[in-house]
Copies of this chain bind each other. A is one copy, B any other.
Amino acid sequence: MNDARKVINELLVKLFNRILIIEHEALKEAGIPLSMNEVHVLEAIDDLDMSTMSRIAEKLHITVGSATIAIDTLQKKGYVNRKRDKNDRRRVIVELTSDAAEVLDVHDRFHDEMITAVIDDFELEENDILIDALKKLSDYFKA
């Protein structure tokens, strides 16, 4: 296996786990009682237009039953509220509280710093090549 393959594999296998662990420890130190899994639920809700239980479950690739339980504990912890959709009372809309917005802000800033650290040194042309490669990687998994 040549150097390129080794480095890319190392990246895929280990880097992402390392990021998750670092983020998890940052939450712990900040006294935020959330797992990374729970932060990902908050992110999903933030991304969705109408964050119903089934859309949240679909986005996170979990069952709706699992979503119910995830939202239960986030609600107990004060990071989300449930409300019924007025047009279709079967639906539950999940909303983020201001506490959740704060957590997501911190999370966004973390990602921002991380990216800055990586791309600040690059020339514009090198940036293009990097983006090309990452897009290719990303596209490979969309298929």
Contacts and interface: CB of A to CB of B under 8 A. Distances in A.
Contacts of A14: 138
A61 B118 CA distance: 25
Interface residues of A, number: 45
Interface stretch (A15-23, A69-77, A87-95): A15-23
Contacts of A40: 17
A142 to B, nearest CB: 8
A18 to B, nearest CB: 5
Interface in A10-68: 10-19, 21-22, 40, 43, 61
Which 8 A-B residue pairings sit nearest by Cβ, starting from the closest? A16-B16, A130-B133, A129-B129, A18-B141, A117-B140, A11-B134, A4-B127, A7-B131
